[in-house]
Chains A and B, each alone.
Chain A
Amino acid sequence: MTPDESTAAVIEVRALVRRFGERAAVDELDIELRAGECLGLLGPNGAGKSTTVRILSTLLAPSSGSVRVLGLDPVKDGERLRARLGVVPQELALYEHLSARENLEFFAGLQGLSGTMLADAVQQGLALSGLAERARDRVKGFSGGMKRRLNIAVALVHSPELVFLDEPTVGIDPQSRERVYEMVESLHARGVSMIYTSHQLGEVERLCDRIVILDRGRKVAEGTLAELQRHPSVHQRGGASLRFAAVGEALRAQRLLLQQNLHSEMQEEVPDLERIFLDLTGRALRDREDA
């Protein structure tokens, strides 16, 4: 990857709006994804995450705004774009009466693979999902974790340049979740650009380079975890509080106060992503239906 490519925007979204009747599911949204980057999309239910993913993956047209994905317009160039995208949907979109291998073969064939390329892609998919030994078994008999892994493998079978993962670890055990993380990390290491939506803040913290927090269809914050920790809306708890620009500065300040014989019980508090998330989006229940 050349320096130019690494900084080039894979996704550029400007003032994106998507309305369902009167309701704006996505409202004046700006997002940018750089090549090889994993961008986390966080937000409460109904924040507009899935709608955004559907628009970016050509399944839904925006009401207004500008969207470029891999340099193409998802509405006008949908056909050209689809072959370069991999989408892991929130639901398990698999044929339960087919085996793991048959599912992979079917979707690989649909993506235009054939012959040796198809066979290799299927083998890689089975290996990636850890299902090589159960390749001939019907999906119907798989555990939730196995289905989730296959759901991801199917989306990756044609080696897409850009991958959307919409809450890929919902309802699975820690072992399977760990395997999914490894799959995502392996993609990241190969320089595949990704958008990852989740409610599991820990996994976003672990897997994503940058995080965009959405609420009510709008972007409320964006940046790396460290940048979000310094966000003005992230409050300190109890007593008097001083805000420092960087982690560790509070300790230096405490040493200075002690040197001056000024009594101090200063404690550095580093907010985690969950704190940041709740501070930025509030604690009120969100029952708005996510489109």
Chain B
Amino acid sequence: MKTWVLAQKDLRVYFRDRIGVLLGFGLPIALCTVFAGAMGAIGGGDGVGRIELVVEDGDRSDASREFLAELAKADGLRLDVLASDTQDTARQRVAEGNAPAALRLGPGFGAALAAGDDLPLTLYRDPGKTIEQQILAGNLIPAFLGALGEGAGKRMSKKVLDALDFPLVGRERAQTILDLSWSSMEGLVGELRAKGELDEDEKTEGASAAGAGTEAKSDDAGFDFAQGVAQMLGITIEDVVGGDQHAKEQKIAQQAQSVAGMAVMMLLFGLIHCGGTLLEEADSGTLDRLRLAPGASSAILSGKFLFTWLVGVVQLVILFAYGGLVFDVPIFRAPLALFVLSATTAAAVTGFGVLFAVVARSRKQLEGLSTIVVLTMSALGGSWWPLAITPEWYQFLGHFTINAWAMDGYQGLFWYQKDLLGILPEIGVLAGIALGTSFVAWRLWERRMRV
């Protein structure tokens, strides 16, 4: 009986704080929505995270169009076919970090396909985006096999026999056996597909398994696997970012992404806490005492902003210094740009923190609100996983967060070797967020301080 009485009391107390209840129930719902959205669970197959593949058709033949139409059917790929025919455009898109990979069909593609010759296909890749590359490999291989039809298997068989330096005596027989096997396999796949047994989930699972399997071999195993298969299909692979120090740079890019992602998330948590000192001042009575000092009312908020911003800048400087020392994050590549980007990121986060502190009426409200917003922004903004693997709508929403812009900026510096001018768009957006949130906070503060 007493147990029930005690529980009843706790329930009464719990539900009396309506905002607390709302936040308590809202947080899991918000996070589930974000996670589910990221994994493409909303709205069925349409929302599945697909990897963007920029395509440039330099052949413009019926065969190339047919090939691309088949490729477009791959569930894991989102084709972005360029209208222009300049070779640099597709390559440029990857080099500037705007797409993880691009495929170029060179002139003569149709003729080579018909003749069974090596195909003039070039795959441009950004090796820094390893997760995207693994997913791409998992999707591209079956997509190619499907798009090239029976010829793909035969083409691969021929390449395998060449690679094995198969004796000419039995070569024709071996080729026939392999071709028959390919034909049987393709027939089986066609049959299963017709029956609907090869459903979307199995294919997705297969793609993921391909990625996971290759990942297990070694850091770069997925890469080599894709490269090996691509070579058997006669595709030329070019890594357009990273230079000679390829493997090392690739690792650095991953580490820089992790450091930047976590840095921004932790910065959000930390600085919102700092902004919360405004509420502590109100609770402890010192806020009234500050208001009684001449000219202090307007300085209270700017003082809090300055304090929080300085803490943020120092946090980022320490974090990146650590990243530079331990993970070889290239912090001295463009130190001024790194400082300006970090200062602007800290300012944007500070603006949010101060705004929350002005809006929230209690520490509890601030903590609830900030937890929801920080976790949601971090998940949406790419602090936890690369945005490239998420649905398009998710990526669009992601760019309403500080995390996405800050991480774009850091990636630009560390991986794409951009300078201050190169990351000006990111700095501009972050500065805009800082100004916008600070302005709103300031207006609300003024209204609150009005006697």
On A, residues with C-beta under 8 Å from B are: 57-61, 74-75, 78-80, 82-83, 85, 87, 89-95, 107, 110-112, 154
Contacts and interface: CB of A to CB of B under 8 A. Distances in A.
Contacts of B294: 79-80, 82-83, 111-112
Give the 6 A-B CB pairs with smallest separation, nearest first.
Answer: A91-B285, A93-B285, A110-B293, A61-B451, A93-B289, A83-B294
Given A79-B295, A87-B292, A94 B286 contact: yes
Interface in B267-326: 284-286, 288-296
A95 B286 contact: yes
Tell me if B's interface is mostly helix, strand, loop or mixed. Answer: loop
B302 to A, nearest CB: 14
B286 A93 contact: yes
Nearest to A86: B292
Contacts of A80: 294
B385 to A, nearest CB: 39
A93 B295 contact: no
Contact of B451 (A58, A89, A94, A112): A58
A82 B284 contact: no
Contacts of A107: 289, 293
A140 B294 CA distance: 27
A59 B295 contact: no
Most B CB contacts (10 A, CB to CB) among A61, A75, A79, A82 go to A82
Contacts of B284: 91-94
B288 A59 contact: yes
Contacts of B293: 82, 107, 110-111
A87 B292 CA distance: 8
Contact of B288 (A78, A83, A89): A89
B285 A59 contact: no
A154 B451 contact: no
Given A91-B285, A93-B286, A110 B451 contact: no
B278 to A, nearest CB: 14
Contacts of B292: 57-59, 82, 85, 87
Contact of B289 (A61, A74, A83, A87): A87
Contact of B296 (A61, A75, A110): A110
B451 A60 contact: yes
Chain A interface helix/strand/loop/mixed: loop
A94 B288 CA distance: 11
Contacts of B296: 110
Given A59-B291, A82-B292, A83-B294, A75 B285 contact: no
Contacts of B295: 79
Contacts of B291: 59
A74 B451 CA distance: 10
B289 A154 contact: yes
A65 to B, nearest CB: 14
A58 B295 CA distance: 13
B451 A75 contact: yes
Given A59-B291, A79-B294, 13 more contacts: A59-B288, A59-B292, A59-B451, A61-B450, A61-B451, A74-B451, A78-B451, A82-B292, A83-B294, A91-B285, A92-B285, A110-B290, A111-B293
Contacts, number: 49
Nearest to A58: B451
Contacts of A93: 284-286, 288-289
Contacts of B285: 89-93
A110 B288 CA distance: 13
A140 to B, nearest CB: 12
Contacts of A95: 286
A165 to B, nearest CB: 14
B112 to A, nearest CB: 75
Nearest to B290: A110
A89 B451 CA distance: 17
Contacts of A82: 292-294
B449 to A, nearest CB: 10
A74 B285 CA distance: 20
18 contacts: A59-B288, A59-B291, A61-B451, A79-B295, A82-B292, A82-B293, A83-B294, A87-B288, A91-B284, A92-B284, A92-B285, A93-B284, A93-B285, A95-B286, A107-B289, A110-B290, A111-B293, A112-B294
A84 B36 CA distance: 60
A242 to B, nearest CB: 50
A91 B286 CA distance: 9
Contacts of A154: 289
A113 B417 CA distance: 51
B301 to A, nearest CB: 15
Nearest to B287: A93
A49 B288 CA distance: 17
Nearest to A92: B285
Contacts of A79: 294-295
A60 B448 CA distance: 11
Nearest to A88: B289
Contacts of A83: 294
Interface in B380-428: none
Contacts of A112: 294
Contacts of A111: 293-294
A111 B284 CA distance: 20
Nearest to A62: B451
Contacts of A92: 284-285
Most chain A C-beta atoms within 10 Å of own C-beta, residue among B289, B291, B295: B289
A21 B331 CA distance: 58
A112 B296 CA distance: 11
A92 B283 CA distance: 11
Contacts of A85: 292
B428 to A, nearest CB: 36
A205 B450 CA distance: 36
Nearest to A81: B294
B298 to A, nearest CB: 10
Contacts of B289: 87, 89, 93, 107, 154
A164 to B, nearest CB: 10
A28 B296 CA distance: 31
